[in-house]
Structure 1
């Protein structure tokens, strides 16, 4: 038995304007699709009314035969008869029946074959049945819609229908006739569901989860937005190498602070805010100490003119460069005297080791006269001291109430103080910069809507 490959098969209900419209002398949808897609096989689904017309003058096969002869190609037909079908408005019937029919068609096809579905012929219930089948995604096909020649609804006229005369008058038989077919993209239910899940992940700033779901869809379906979600996933990890590469690739700029020497601090602060919004209170607590140290150091430089590195030595630990206070560089300086004096007053000795936020606060208290700044630093230093060890060394449930009980501040209050402290650094931060993740989310969702 010869196996025929690369077959194009058209399944189509038959409607009132098929095969040629008596109203405008142009192809009906079935004939027009056959004219431009040249299917090898046409499967005609006929209700009682359409079967009556077919048996009266063989109008459907007659026009298809004339077209095949004009195009000098073979074309075979199959008629699916539904003589009992008179209530052509019932959606449930067509959905179930079409599903059975198309399932049988698929059993005769191989991977090289293409199925076309005509959604412009038949009753509204028939068209809807085919569209819903495509939405469910069980039977992949090209869904074809055919526009009317005048761009408005065709009126169905059957009185005085002379198929042979109409074929001769059919304006679409003229050379250069306009192709009114359009392939419509019918998203599958699976795609719709997955994209809703992606959006939900984006709304809660879980970009890796959004990316994982995105990558479970075919690449051609996510080309409009996949790179943007990848960018967001790398951004929240502070992976600036891949962030920069993706920005260059997509021309999608989402970082409000772009100076490489400053953005790491601000972007880190934004990730702290995201952890708070996500209710990840343990991670929120753990992330406070690094930003407090960096902020205090930048403030000391901006407000007091003291560069901490001028009083430190560099050393390598575990393959990474670290720094510690240099007793030699501090000796004989006002900064060194301030640190030594402070610890002597409380019966301790200043040890020139790692740089801590406590040291930076002591220096700022001495060199700055800004009482608001000093209070902010005092509050954050106490927060850091009270909750740092809790998150790091004890297995406990950490909630916003836990943070409030230990520090006197809710997470949002702590974040507000961090934001305010940025105003004392040399980094220029506008109020709207703090909403840059939400703005990025909005643009990603916009791209998803534009696909």
Structure 2
């Protein structure tokens, strides 16, 4: 129906203030918003004034005539109401009234609520209704001309004279209305849930909750939530797309060849923080194989790929040791001597155990060798077990089976990065928490 409807309690300065000869809140909202219908809520006192001189309808009708339009009026009478300070009464009464108003509205209609007229209890009742979010409406607040509390004088009220003297009737009068953006309780609760998900690194859940809010309510942070969720999935193409769109950079390592290893390690640490121990231990092998390789290349100039060949299986490319490339080399000799009792080295895939042997035989720094041995020990003792058996992995499990806590294992991985040649600064490891803070500041 495309109607604008104003629900308004009637207050002490309505319709025109006798102290400043300017619109009261109800009349001023009607002047500015031009509602098609005005529903006035009158207590015993206000009804007495209306019956005495028709002041409210008189001014509304004069305004409608001045603006050359039609305006419908409805009065909700509460003649028995004298305790105008009781919040509970107004909250319950307004809830029923506004529900009835909404039953007659369609999606094209707009409801205005005047929160400047009436007693403090009336204004609070309307605010609470809007906060609960049951009835979408525009809350309209009207400033007094003097920017201070209005004086209420009802004695010797001459509505006809006041209308003629009303300065707001002059062309170009100041708009004193303001639409109050009152967040709903539902929105507040959802935003708190989003914040908790962010702090728990559960960005997909945070994004799901955010998408139940209105688009304009999440426009400041929704892209960042999406970026965080894709980052956790190591989906760098979409992460980069969001960074380009928003200009918000959260990845400290930006070179793609280095970023994948560092972000993978960060991903492991997030799993540890979330106590997802099975996923944590299962993710160890791919990383330490790559880190061991980088250590050999950085410190010894040994490129494992030089001793391997590629093959395809089911449309994917894989790597395996190439016997002809190992033959007659130092690498081949080390591996053959290690597996001499088994008839020499004949493995196909490149495993961390092979790289550990090479580091043990070639590397001179004892601490690095010990670090590599410890990480390989962790992988050997729990990773394969967790990958192939149905089992519970807890912090106690890690400690009992490896002798190391989850944090200790993670710290060893971080330390190993120092030997790879990757430029990973200590503060980079806090980048997820910094990203979280960036998002939280925008909510």
- TM normalised by structure 2 equals 0.96
Moved more, 387-396 or 178-187: 178-187
Residue 390 in structure 1 maps to residue 385 in structure 2: yes
Moved more, 24-33 or 403-412: 24-33
The aligned counterpart of 1:179 is 175
> Paired residues, what number?
443
Does the 8 Å CA contact 2:203/2:225 hold for their aligned counterparts? yes
Identify if the C-alpha distance between structure 1 residues 119 and 341 changes in structure 2 by more than 3 Å, giving closer, same or farther. Answer: same
The aligned counterpart of 1:9 is 5
315, 334, 339: which one aligns with 1:338: 334
Alpha-carbon offset, residue 352 of structure 1: 4.4
416, 419, 430: which one aligns with 1:424: 419
After superposition, what is the alpha-carbon deviation per residue over 1:182-208, rounded to whole angstroms, capped at 9, x for unaligned? 222222332222222222211111111
After superposition, what is the alpha-carbon deviation per residue over 1:311-337, rounded to whole angstroms, capped at 9, x for unaligned? 211111222221112222222222222
The aligned counterpart of 2:313 is 317
Does the 8 Å CA contact 1:23/1:155 hold for their aligned counterparts? yes
The aligned counterpart of 1:364 is 359
After superposition, what is the alpha-carbon deviation per residue over 1:368-409, rounded to whole angstroms, capped at 9, x for unaligned? 222221111111000000001221122121111001000001
Moved more, 329-338 or 418-427: 329-338
Pairwise mapping of residues 14-33 of structure 1 onto structure 2 (< 5 A)? 14-33=10-29
After superposition, what is the alpha-carbon deviation per residue over 1:331-361, rounded to whole angstroms, capped at 9, x for unaligned? 22222222222222x6552124211111212
The 2-side partners of 1:88 and 1:278 are apart by 53
After superposition, what is the alpha-carbon deviation per residue over 1:45-89, rounded to whole angstroms, capped at 9, x for unaligned? 011222222222222112111211110111121111111111111
The aligned counterpart of 2:239 is 243
After superposition, what is the alpha-carbon deviation per residue over 1:212-232, rounded to whole angstroms, capped at 9, x for unaligned? 222222323222222211111
The 1-side partners of 2:283 and 2:74 are apart by 69
Does the 8 Å CA contact 1:304/1:364 hold for their aligned counterparts? no
The aligned counterpart of 2:303 is 307
105, 110, 114: which one aligns with 2:106: 110
396, 405, 414: which one aligns with 1:410: 405
48, 53, 74: which one aligns with 2:44: 48
Identify if the C-alpha distance between structure 1 residues 321 and 86 changes in structure 2 by more than 3 Å, giving closer, same or farther. Answer: same
The aligned counterpart of 1:354 is 349
Q: Secondary structure at the match of 2:441?
A: helix
Does the 8 Å CA contact 2:335/2:344 hold for their aligned counterparts? no
Q: CA RMSD in A?
A: 1.6
The aligned counterpart of 1:80 is 76
Unaligned runs of 5+ in 1: none
The aligned counterpart of 2:63 is 67
The aligned counterpart of 1:436 is 431
360, 363, 376: which one aligns with 2:371: 376
Unaligned runs of 5+ in 2: none
The aligned counterpart of 2:219 is 223
The 2-side partners of 1:257 and 1:315 are apart by 31
- TM normalised by structure 1 equals 0.94
Does the 8 Å CA contact 1:326/1:352 hold for their aligned counterparts? no
The 1-side partners of 2:232 and 2:270 are apart by 9
The 2-side partners of 1:196 and 1:442 are apart by 14
After superposition, what is the alpha-carbon deviation per residue over 1:262-288, rounded to whole angstroms, capped at 9, x for unaligned? 111111101100111111111011011
The 1-side partners of 2:373 and 2:151 are apart by 80
Identify if the C-alpha distance between structure 1 residues 156 and 300 changes in structure 2 by more than 3 Å, giving closer, same or farther. Answer: farther
266, 270, 277: which one aligns with 1:270: 266
